[in-house]
Structure 1
């Protein structure tokens, strides 16, 4: 399998499971309705772990432009591959969101709140203030990239940043550790914005929300869309740089 296809597949699985658990919890008449934040955070953690298990050995399972760009910024990934990876991730996220739409087809018209319908695709801030939301996404993505690289060193004793990432993705327990990390971020830091910490995770489904004939949907909230794109990219770069600076 080509790494670009693997990234698209991995990101599609991430969104199918991740946005799927959101839809399960918030859409009217779902049997999991009102399952709560812990169910959503756990679902996202498992979504990341499973996606990494599936495609990690092929592409490294970045499944996140912030990870791809962050690694490239410290010489741990080829810049020439970045555009293809990022485009594949966005396409995969769009496909995953479309599958969520089809899976919950009967529930959109039963859900009266357009904000809940959008939540099944993309993120939005609990308090609509752009600067605090930006800071939240920035910090969350720093933690994501820094901790994954650090976990690679701890797990395998890798002697380079490239190996730190690759070794974590290439072990049976590596993807599980990454899933636990995302679960921890969601439980501890996710409330203010819904913790996109991934530009593709937000942009691909937001495009799907705008294009799909979803009954009862409202605005796709493009005024906010730049935050979960720009903040995670900068956070990913900062997290990778912090890892190198820390010399762990």
Structure 2
């Protein structure tokens, strides 16, 4: 909950700052999202796994890398953290006429759904590669995941809002009381994350017990 709170607080605050003409631009917003994801992974990843994203939690559970019994608690914590972050931003920004930074499609719903599926597929594929493979360089996992989020915001932010995270979209929607198009950001990221996890499992190199033991020693 704490990790998701700060993720959404910093990420959405950067978008709000840009909306108030502080000249951050899409690059500045993307850097903010990428860096806060990286920082939170290194700060809390060793405590809870650093999911901060219901789609990631569900995807890990779907491939047997996270217990299904823990999914409801994780998702509830993630959504609560996001909602609290957006409620905080609403207090700070209500005098300026902007409450929260919502993810809204700028084109058709199918364009946004497609973008959310693809960029979350990529995000989950990277997460599986750096966080679940014993031969990956674990110390760089935060950099890889944060960098992926940064690139995804750059390429998809102007089209779909580059949510990649149902909790990221649910928090602003709940606080602002606007659930229109929310289903796009529930279905797209969840389907993309599950597909990314299964795809990496199909491509995962076969690791023999000896290789695995050597990897652990290194």
Same fold by TM (over 0.5)?
yes
Unaligned runs of 5+ in 1: 1-7, 109-116, 159-166, 211-219
1:97 aligns with 2:86: yes
Give 3-state SS (helix, strand or coil) of 1:15's partner. Answer: helix
Write out per-residue CA displacement over residues 133-172 of structure 1, whole angstroms, 9 at most, x where no aligned residue: 1111111110000012113367x516xxxxxxxx84xx3x
Question: After TM superposition, what 4+ stretches of structure 1 lie above 4 angstroms from structure 2?
Answer: none
Residue 15 of structure 2 corresponds to which residue in structure 1? 22
Residue 189 of structure 1 corresponds to which residue in structure 2? 156
Unaligned runs of 5+ in 2: 206-218
Residue 127 of structure 2 corresponds to which residue in structure 1? 148
Two-structure CA RMSD over aligned residues (Å) = 1.8
CA distance in 2, matches of 1:138, 1:78: 24
| Shift, 1:105, TM fit | 4.2
CA distance in 2, matches of 1:138, 1:41: 18
Q: Quick check: 79-88 or 48-57, which moved more?
A: 48-57
CA distance in 2, matches of 1:189, 1:35: 17
Which residue of 95, 100, 105 maps to 1:125? 105
Give 3-state SS (helix, strand or coil) of 1:62's partner. Answer: coil
CA distance in 2, matches of 1:181, 1:131: 23
Residue 163 of structure 1 corresponds to which residue in structure 2? none
Instruction: Describe how 1:215-226 pairs up with structure 2 within 5 A.
Output: 220=178, 222-226=179-183
| Shift, 1:24, TM fit | 0.7
Which of the two has greater helix per residue?
Answer: 2
Write out per-residue CA displacement over residues 75-123 of structure 1, whole angstroms, 9 at most, x where no aligned residue: 0000000011001000000011122223334322xxxxxxxx47x4320
